[in-house]
Amino acid sequence: MTDGKHGGAAGAETSGIGASAAPGRERRMTAGRKRDAVLRLLRAEPLEIVARELSVTAADLSAWREAFLEAGAASLKARERDDRDEKIDRLQSKLGEVLMDNELLQAKVDRLEAGGGGGPFGSRRSKR
């Protein structure tokens, strides 16, 4: 790659000013570049111009904008974890353990009752 000291398309590419890549040489659209493109749209730059400069379709650019806005809205709904969340997690874990134990005991009771003898211990033979 270049060291950023040269002018022309290579210098514009590394300077981050939004110049399009040289013909036949496509740049990868990283998350940062997509974010910068969406921010340009949110600053009221025309969609067609931004898409043309970045060599992407208007549909892709619109999809990035929608995903960006949805993620932003979702992050505003989230709240920080506190002591209640830790207590809820601990209680849910304990409840899961108790339910599992209960299911295992019920299965054991069902096997013993179906296994014979009518009683919980089945029929026993005398040791004499």
Token duo for residue 66: 């929608």
Q: Of 35, 37, 69, give the one whose Cα is nearest residue 50.
A: 37
Q: What is the pLDDT of residues 11-69, one digit of tens each?
A: 444 334 444 444 545 678 899 999 999 999 999 999 999 999 999 999 999 999 999 99
Q: In b/e form, how buried is each residue of 90-113, taking b as 16+ CB within 10 angstroms?
A: eeeeeeeeeeeeeeeeeeeeeeee
pTM over 0.75: no
Residue 70 pLDDT exceeds 80: yes
Report the 10 Å Cβ neighbour count for 60. 14
